[in-house]
A and B are shown apart, each in its own frame.
Chain A
Amino acid sequence: MEPRARFQAIGRSLPRAGTRRLVAGRGRYVDDIVLPRMVHAAFLRSPYPHARLARVDLTVARAAPGVLAVYAWSDLQDTVRAWQSRSAAFPGLVSPTQTPLADGRCAWQGEPVLMALADTRAAAEDALELAEIEWEELPAAVGLEAALAPQAPAVHPGLANNVAWTKETLGGDPDEAFAKAALVVETQVHLARLTGVTLEPRGLVADWDPAGETLTVHHSHQMPHQMQAHFAEFFGVPAERVRVVVPDVGGGFGLKMHVYPDEIAAIAGAIKLARPVKFIADRLESLASDIHAREHNVRARMALDGEGHIVGFDVDQRHGAGAYSVFPRGSPVESSAALHLVGAPYRFAHFRGRLTIALQNKAMTGQYRSVGHPIAVLVTERLVELAACARGEDGLALRRRNFTPPGETPYVNGAGQRLFDVSHDACLLALERLVDVPRVRETVRSARAAGRALGFGVACYVEMTATGAEAYGKAGVPVSAADSVSLSVELSGAVRCAASVTEIGQGVTQALAQAVADGVGVPVERVLVHTGDTAQVPHGGGAWASRGAAIGAEAAWLAARRLRRNILEAAARLLGADDESLDLRDGTIVDHRGEARLELSELAHIAAFRGYELPEGFQPQLSLMHHYRRSKDLFLPANGVQASLLEVDLHTGLVRPLRHWAVCDCGRVLNPLLVEEQLRGGVVQGIGEALYEELRYGEDGHLETGTLAEYLVPMAAEMPDIEVAHVQTPYDGTSLGAKGAGEAGVAAAPAAILNAVNDALAPHGAALDAVPISPAAVLEALERGR
């Protein structure tokens, strides 16, 4: 038996060692990389949502000063192949082939059409102004409902309609459940299109060495190994000759998980010129061409019995995918996740879900942090409040009555969601410890008496984290759900760790360092973690679906335990001791009395230089690799609850969040500080979704919020302080018991805000069902309520 592990670093709020460099301005992001003979790429993008390229003349553009090349699709065809979004998970998905540069026709505003490569980015942009293009505008389908209307213009020629995919799911007997229900509440929720807005935009430096036949791409991305596979395929280079290096990443949030046409074109340019090419999306390009998310219209009904038990949901959801399904994961992921997550915190047996995904002449929607969850939580928690109101009872009481049971036994709800180890009651209790709910309600009441409209809102959620291999594996999409870690003991006695997870600012390297430190028995400062380089770290999933702690750290832990055994075995052989009697603590090998026998560094030196001191034939293994894939449970459900206190200015319609509380159960917390800050960051993104963020297109398909002056993101002055508490229900399928925490903040914040706004508006007979909540919408609702 292995001696019980001592958790020394695990569970502690240690600051992230890796951020010392960043506070000193010594980060190295992709735009900081300069290679010899590097050239800069800029793109001419379609100004129209739908247009044919009637004529393109590049003669003048190509002759512009500093320009090496101006390419159209026809120039790249011999270098790179086109792709198509397909997934066995979405049979029949309609999404035509995509090319890195438009193939004679543009289907969305912002689609790359031409690429200029020049000595400077400015020169490349200058050249593009000299390109002569005759556009022939085509009718465009832009709005979600408009795209699905019977007479809508086709998003791509030849389509009979603009339906990309539909789905219908049934659980139990919803018809009967609704027929017999004592109460049915209904809502129609709209979520606007938005996007991730990483502060560091997308970017890469591609470097093709024709002599060595190797392609190196320095890429601001979450998934180096996934991109290695795509690049190999697209460019016909053997995968082992494709190296993807991820430097410091200035935020990911899901938008750096995809294949982007401009990035592929830039790599093609590097191959054609045999010179390094840098492409950094500017903010206009980010807002127009990073994957978008949301744009959902959801009509949902919830049925309850006479005792206030939820019996079923009936959900009709529409989702705008944009011109194509995003490659490779597919745009339906968000909406189908949302559909099946409706009602997830609660017990219910009956479910009907219908989903219609529309193609539109707009940028693609895809996976943004907390994929689908905010939609489901918004729908569910709005319905729960409506039901509580109709029943004349407290919303928390209704929730408590309906929570899915805690415990290990999976509960499968009517929507097919498999839930276990959830702790809704405990989280709600923790929330009530964090915030004195009766007192807050009293504050709200007395403020109301004084003419101010305060509101308090709550939202419970389930977050499906750390997706297993069955999801993308079975869909035939090359996204890995496994992680690998290699460890080696350095001569200094430090432990070097190379991991397949990617550090994108979420702090996963610190979590890994803590797991390795405890797993091996060395101080956490003596663990160095490297990530994000396909030539240096073993294969694995990267950063997606809040998997760093649950899968990446588990891999690190298991690797560390093996390394520890190897170390103790070598020490025992050297010392002629029984390895059961030895222990490794703080980097020192001690005997059963705790007395120091050997420094780890000394052992490393012996192994490296004086191997003859070891018994004949014994080869110490002070480095190893470990691969980990969870073999059961497709998802690890994390859960929690959030609450918001805010004020609505009844005269201007402005909403001002005053306080926000978040309780999260993400299993064992490896580092509370990391989890808390992930939560806070997510909450604020969620508040952005609730109050500000909207990619608004005009009727003509023109993006009206194309700069950060129009696309509003949350800034410091308006955001509330956010109090956080943890509940820990460790997952028992792993040694560490961690689940994901990276996305939970976003999941419930929009719903908590919407519920709080509706609480504030309720005395005035007004209610809202759409986010973001604009001040004009608030005043309109008040008007209607009068």
Chain B
Amino acid sequence: MKHPLTEREIRAIVNGREVRARVPVRKSLVDWLREDQGLTGSHVGCEHGVCGACSVVLDGAVVRGCLTLAVQADGARIETIEGATESGRIGRLQEAFYQRAALQCGFCTPGMLLVAAELLARNPNPSRDEIREALSGNLCRCTGYHAIVDAVEAAKSGSR
């Protein structure tokens, strides 16, 4: 990819499956996942990095899908809410979000879940303040956050 081009061939592992595709280089990762891979669980809320609705996991770390280009997924592993759901990796969190009513419209929820999962992987026993800080880049306009913090607390290991 030494010569500048407007379209590129990429190969990526998306939710565990290898995908080959031609992508316009200006297309964002979240647009590509949503429009070309049918993975509409990641949402688009601002396209300038502020809301976190577009969160996806790139090589093991949550990133903004709107601030990453699809072409940059070449050679990478991508996981979206769909993949995380199917693998069962975030099952506890999902159950806790459901039980605790930690969502209303649900537009922020996939992003919240992926960020919360990364927090718990790094810090299995976060305090409420630590949870709030970790989620501070994800906008939820509906819940007021309290229930989300409760749900993450409920899902952390050790608690039941």
Q: Which residues of A contact B144 (CB under 8 A)?
A: 677, 680-685, 714, 719, 722, 745
Q: Does A721 contact B (CB under 8 A)?
A: yes
Min CB gap A280→B, angstroms: 8
Does the CB pair B107–A719 fall under 8 Å? Answer: no
Q: A15-B101, A199-B108 are in contact. Are A680 and B143 (CB under 8 A)?
A: yes
- Contact check, B141 vs A713: say whether CB atoms are below 8 A apart: yes
Task: Give bound CA distance, A280 to B26, whole Å.
Answer: 19
Kindly report which residue of chain B lies nearest to residue A723, judged by CB atoms.
Answer: B146
A200-B98 in contact given A251-B141, A683-B144, A716-B135 (Cβ < 8 Å): no
User: Given A680-B147, A716-B135, A719-B146, are A19 and B141 neighbors across the interface (CB < 8 Å)?
Assistant: no
Interface membership of chain A positions 654-693, coded 1 if the CB is closer than 8 angstroms to chain B and 0 otherwise: 0000000000000000000110011011111100000000
Q: Which of B1-56 contact A (CB under 8 A)?
A: 24, 26-27, 34-35, 40-48, 50-51, 53
Q: Does A84 contact B (CB under 8 A)?
A: no
Residue of A nearest to B26 (CB): A122
Partner of B110, one of A16, A25, A708: A25
What separation, in Å, do the CA atoms of A535 and B44 have in the docked complex? 29
Q: Which of B80, B100, B106, B113 contacts A250 (CB 8 A)?
A: B106
The complex places the Cα of A721 from the Cα of B35 at a distance, in Å, of 38
Query: Cα distance A505–B102 when bound, in Å?
Result: 11
Interface status of A709 (Cβ within 8 A of chain B): yes
Which residues in B have their C-beta under 8 angstroms from that of A680? 143-144, 146-147
Instruction: Provide the B41-85 mask, 1 if CB < 8 A to any CB of A, else 0.
Output: 111111110110100000000000000000000000000111001
Q: A15 to B133, alpha carbons, bound, how many Å?
A: 26
Please determine whether A19 and B106 come into contact, CB atoms closer than 8 angstroms.
yes
- Say yes or no: is A197 at the interface (Cβ < 8 Å to chain B): yes
Among residues of B, the one whose C-beta sits closest to the C-beta of A687 is: B144
Closest B residue to A199 using CB positions: B107
B142 at the interface (CB under 8 A from A): yes
Residues of A within 8 Å of B113, CB to CB, are 23
Would you call B142 and A251 a contact (CB within 8 A)?
yes
Q: Does B139 contact A (CB under 8 A)?
A: yes
Q: Does A447 contact B (CB under 8 A)?
A: no
* Contact assessment for B80 and A25 in the assembled complex, using a CB-CB cutoff below 8 Å: yes
CA distance in complex: A678, B142 (Å): 8
Number of interface residues of B (CB under 8 A): 55
**Is B48 in contact with A709, judged by CB distance below 8 angstroms?**
yes
Set of chain B residues within 8 Å of A505, measured between Cβ atoms:
103-107, 142
Smallest CB–CB gap between B130 and chain A, Å? 10
CA distance A175 to B42 in the complex (A): 60
Give the CA-CA distance A253 to B146 in the complex, in Å. Answer: 19
B149: Cβ under 8 A from any A Cβ: yes
- Of all chain B residues, the one with the shortest Cβ separation from A724 is B146
Q: Are A199 and B85 in contact (CB under 8 A)?
A: no
For the complex formed, measure the closest distance between the CB of A86 and the CB atoms of chain B, giving whole angstroms.
32
A contact residues around B128 at 8 Å (CB): 721
- CB within 8 A of A677: which of B43, B53, B101? B101
Residues from chain B with a CB closer than 8 A to the CB of A719 are 132, 144-146
Q: Determine if A707 is an interface residue (Cβ-Cβ < 8 Å).
A: yes
Which residues of chain A from 5 to 32 have any CB-CB distance to chain B below 8 Å in the complex?
15-16, 19-20, 22-29, 31-32
| Docked complex Cα distance between A200 and B53 (Å) | 9
Is the CB–CB distance between A685 and B141 below 8 Å? yes
Give the distance to chain A from B45, nearest Cβ to Cβ, in Å.
Answer: 5
Interface residues on A, range: 35 or more
Which applies to chain B's interface (DSSP): helix, strand, loop or mixed?
Answer: loop
Who on chain A is nearest to B83 by CB? A25
User: Is B157 interfacial (CB-CB < 8 Å)?
Assistant: no
- Contacts A23-B94, A25-B85 given; does A283 touch B105 at CB 8 Å: no
A266-B98 Cα distance, complex, nearest whole Å: 36
Nearest A residue (CB) for B85: A24
Set B98, B141, B145: member contacting A197, Cβ < 8 A:
B141
Provide the residues of chain B in CB contact with A25, threshold 8 Å.
40-42, 80-82, 85, 109-110
In the assembled complex, the CB of B84 is this many whole angstroms from the nearest CB of chain A, namely: 8
Please report the C-alpha to C-alpha distance between residue A16 and residue B147 in the assembled complex, in whole angstroms: 14
A189 to chain B, nearest CB (A): 24
Complex contact B48–A29 (CB within 8 A): no
Among A20, A26, A199, A201, which residue has its beta carbon within 8 angstroms of that of B41?
A: A26
Residue of B47, B80, B135 with highest tally of chain A CB at under 10 A: B47
Known: A20-B98, A504-B105, A722-B144. A283 touches B136 (CB 8 A): no
Q: Is residue A179 contacting chain B, with contact meaning CB distance below 8 A?
A: no
Given that A27-B41, A248-B105 are known contacts, is A684 also in contact with B98, CB under 8 Å in the complex?
Answer: no
Q: Which residue of chain B has the shortest Cβ distance to A23 in the bound complex?
A: B94
Per the bound structure, the CA–CA distance linking A713 and B46 in Å amounts to: 13
* Docked-complex contact A22 and B106, CB < 8 angstroms: yes
In the complex, what's the smallest C-beta–C-beta distance from A726 to chain B, in angstroms?
Answer: 15
Establish whether residues B43 and A24, one from each chain, have CB atoms under 8 Å apart when the complex forms.
Answer: no
Distance (Å) between the CB of A293 and the closest chain B CB?
14
B43 is contacted by which of A23, A34, A250, A707 (Cβ under 8 Å)?
A250
Q: Is the Cβ of B136 less than 8 Å from the Cβ of A15?
A: no
Establish whether residues A716 and B107, one from each chain, have CB atoms under 8 Å apart when the complex forms: no
Enumerate chain A residues within 8 angstroms of B97, measured Cβ to Cβ. 19, 23
Q: Say yes or no for A404: interface residue by CB 8 A criterion.
A: no
Q: Is the CB of B46 within 8 A of A715?
A: no
Provide the residues of chain B in CB contact with A248, threshold 8 Å.
Answer: 105-106
Contacts of A22 in B (CB 8 A): 103, 105-106, 109
Q: Is A136 an interface residue (CB 8 A)?
A: no
Q: Which of B85, B94, B107 contacts A27 (CB 8 A)?
A: B107
Q: Are B98 and A19 in contact (CB under 8 A)?
A: yes
Complex contacts, B24 vs chain A, CB 8 Å = 122
**Bound CA–CA A682/B51 (angstroms):** 19
B120 at the interface (CB under 8 A from A): no
In the assembled complex, the Cα of A15 lies from the Cα of B100 at a distance in Å of 7
Contacts of B101 in A (CB 8 A): 15-16, 19, 507, 673-674, 677
Chain A residues with Cβ below 8 Å from B117 are none
Asked whether any CB of chain A lies closer than 8 Å to the CB of B126, the reply is: no
Q: How distant is the Cα of A507 from the Cα of B143 in the complex, in angstroms?
A: 12
> Measured between C-beta atoms, what is the minimum distance from A291 to chain B in Å?
15
Report which of B107, B136, B146 forms a contact with A29, defined as CB distance below 8 A.
B107
Given contacts A199-B45, A709-B50, A716-B132, contact A249 B145 (CB under 8 A): no
Output the residue of B42, B44, B148 with the most chain A CB within 10 A: B44
In the assembled complex, the Cα of A25 lies from the Cα of B53 at a distance in Å of 11
In the bound complex, residues from chain B placing their C-beta under 8 Å from that of A197 are: 141
Is B99 close to A, CB under 8 A? yes
In the complex formed, the residue of A with least CB distance to B131 is A716
**Nearest CB of chain B from residue A253's CB, rounded to whole Å:** 7
**A-side interface residues toward B, CB under 8 Å?**
15-16, 19-20, 22-29, 31-32, 34, 122, 196-201, 248-251, 253, 280, 282-283, 504-507, 673-674, 677-678, 680-685, 707-709, 713-717, 719, 721-722, 745
Cβ-closest 3 pairs across A and B: A25-B41, A505-B105, A22-B106
Q: What are 13 A-to-B residue pairs whose CB atoms are below 8 Å?
A: A19-B103, A25-B109, A28-B40, A32-B34, A199-B43, A199-B105, A199-B139, A199-B140, A201-B45, A674-B101, A715-B145, A716-B132, A716-B140
Given contacts A23-B98, A678-B104, 20 further A-B contacts (CB under 8 A): A15-B98, A15-B100, A19-B97, A19-B101, A23-B94, A24-B94, A31-B40, A34-B35, A198-B141, A248-B106, A249-B105, A250-B107, A283-B47, A505-B107, A684-B144, A708-B48, A716-B132, A716-B148, A717-B136, A745-B144
